[in-house]
Amino acid sequence: MLRPILLLALLTVTLAARSTGPSFRDQQLQHPRVQAAYTEAWPALRRQLAQQGIDPARLEVFFRVFKIGRKLEVWVRNAGAPAFQLLKTYPLAGSSGTLGPKRREGDGQVPEGFYRIDRFNPESLYHLSLGLDYPNAADRRLGSARPGGDIFIHGSNVTIGCLPITDAGIREVYVLATEARQAGQTEQWVHIFPFELSEEQLHNRRGSVHYAFWQTLAPGYQQFARHRTLPCVSTDAQGAYVLE
């Protein structure tokens, strides 16, 4: 017969487990497409992470997108590590709009700026998708009264303002983002740039109507390029990005 103290301890653990509910990963795995993504993509991704010294239980991710070159980069590190390292690069399977930020609903533009993933959609019309927090503070201050919304990284190869990376690509990216969230990374950044914002590249485009805006993006881009650490970026009263 169990002693009263031991019985009380077991009941406490059981009640605590029930109160916490399923983990974020478990919630996602209730959806068939996420199950299939894990089956197909996770074993190889886990091996690659191990080869680069990344522990999935401590995984953090960062996503960087370039319009020129049409690519999405996935960077990873162990939580607490000083620098990110490149894991994989995915070509954008489609594009719309031109260089420059998104300023109004229906303009077909892909945004440019510093964003966070704020939605995991396991039942997307485009297989799987990760939503960005567009419009952010800068977009709201500089854009029209109707800046639009619903910007996603998603599957397929079609888009009007979003970032498609094929169904195979989004399966991998979705699993990585899920694992990072499971490991405790609630803030996952997505930086979207027109091109590599080096001083030389900026100088070559100094005649663009977007030049002043791109100058506000450049410090954040350049910090990561030099140190592989995420910049701390805020927005001033005029809507410009400011590196803190």
How far, in Å, CA of 38 to CA of 151, rounded?
A: 24
Cis peptide before 135 (omega within 30 of 0): yes
Helices 32-51 and 166-182: angle between axes, nearest 10 degrees: 70
Q: Which residue has the tokens 């199950």?
A: 35
Q: Which residue has the tokens 């049409």?
A: 70
Q: Is 162 a catalytic residue?
A: yes
Q: Out of 162, 191, 210, 227, which one is annotated catalytic? A: 162
Q: Which amino acid is residue 40, in one-letter code?
A: E
Q: Out of 31, 127, 154, 210, which one is annotated catalytic? A: 154
How far, in Å, CA of 65 to CA of 56, rounded?
A: 23
DSSP structure string for 9-78? HHHHHHHHHHHH-S-HHHHHTTSHHHHHHHHHHHHHHHHHHHHTT--GGGEEEEEEEETTTTEEEEEEEE
Catalytic residues: 154, 162
